[in-house]
Each structure stands twice: as structure tokens, then as C-alpha cells.
Amino acid sequence: MARGILAALAGAVLMFIWGALTWMVLHLYPHDGFKNGEVVSASLKASNAETGVYWVPTPPGTDDRESPEFKEFARKLKDGPRAMVIYNANGMDANDMTFMAKGFLALLASCFVAALMLDRAAIRNLLGRVLFCTTIGVIVALYSDGSNWAFFSFPQGWTIISMIDHVISWTLAGVAMGLIMKPRGA
């Protein structure tokens, strides 16, 4: 158990550092704002919406494709624009790093599960253990990023960057965890 915790910690630290590099140094993820951001922000505030996920256009409350509500939705969907808005009604202190701690805990938990899997896999060589973790990254990329691209129309460029990022992140974690999670007796 101690090896698993140590491996998870080492893997999560590398993933966290890689994430900081991709967002803050390499700027791999485009994060543009609306040209009229103040208008968009004011419109969101004026909606008095609660924190949540919102769709534009809003899907109808029916699956009956012949209903007037569905036909209106289909028209709006075709005409555009389309958006999935992850909305938080509350502000945030720019110096509050709570989100970083939450993110690290998510990385730590996922690396701990991977370390447990590595322990059970009992892969004898380091390259095999690294490739095991790389495969986790490929699965994450295909499932998470691929689903977001297919179902929610995430832009293709963003999707490709995110997929590559996940594979690299899990490969780096795999190096750290692979060095620690040697099979017992090896």
C-alpha cells in the first residue's frame, strides 16, 4: 500500500507539472474570449441562472420529432449558434488556489488507481509498465476527448491537443510509477 501511495504521489506530481507547462508556459490550449465579452457576461448575469451546464439552443422536453417544440429546437440547432455553457454564477478570487488543490487530488486519485492496477499487472520491465500507463492515457483520450468531440462538438484542434496532452501526461506518470511499482521480488 505504501508503494502505491508513493507511486501515485510521484505520478500525480509529474502530471501536475506537465499540466502547468501545457497551460501556463506552452499555452497549448487556446482560450480565446468573445470580442464582446462584457455583453456576453452581462447577458449571463441577467439570465439569473443558477450554477450549472446550459445548452444553446435549449433541448425540448420531448423526444417527439413531430412536436412543434422539437421542430423549433431543430430549426434553432441548424441555424446556430450552438453552445454548451459551463456556468458558475459566483465569482472567484484570482489568488484562490483551491482549484489547483482539487485538481491535484483528482490526479492523485487516478494515479493511485493506476498504481493498484500496475501492482496487479506485475509487469516485469520498466518499458512495459510505462506503456501500461500510456495505454491508460490513450483510453482516457479516446473516451473523454473523443466523446466531447463527437457528442458536444468540441473543436477538432482542441480535441487533438487534449488527446496528446492526456497521453503525454499518463506516459510521464508511467515513468514515475513504473520505477516505483516493480513487481514484488523483481
Note the pLDDT tens digit of each residue in 131-182. Answer: 999 999 999 999 999 999 999 999 999 999 999 999 999 999 999 999 999 9
* 83 inside domain: no
Pick out the chain residues at pLDDT < 50. Answer: none
Q: Which residues contact 162 (CB under 8 A, 6 or more apart)?
A: 29, 141, 144, 145, 148
pLDDT for residue 31: 79
* 119 inside domain: yes
* 122 inside domain: yes
For residue 39, what are the CA distances in angstroms to 19, 34, 50, 80? 31, 9, 19, 19
The residues pairing with 53 across neighbouring beta strands, listed in sequence order, are: 86
Contact assessment for residue 87 and residue 44, using Cβ atoms and an 8 Å cutoff: yes
pLDDT for residue 186: 63
* 89 inside domain: no
* 75 inside domain: no
* 153 inside domain: yes
* 24 inside domain: yes
pLDDT for residue 32: 84
Domains of the chain: total = 1
Q: Which residues contact 146 (CB under 8 A, 6 or more apart)?
A: 159, 163
pLDDT for residue 30: 79
pLDDT for residue 171: 98
Retrieve residue 90's grid coordinates. 459566483
Establish how many alpha carbons lie within 13 A of residue 102's alpha carbon, considering only the half-sphere containing its beta carbon: 4
pLDDT for residue 184: 80
Q: Minimal CA–CA distance to 53: which of 77, 85, 83, 81?
A: 85
* 150 inside domain: yes
Q: Domain range spanning residue 140? A: 2-31+94-180
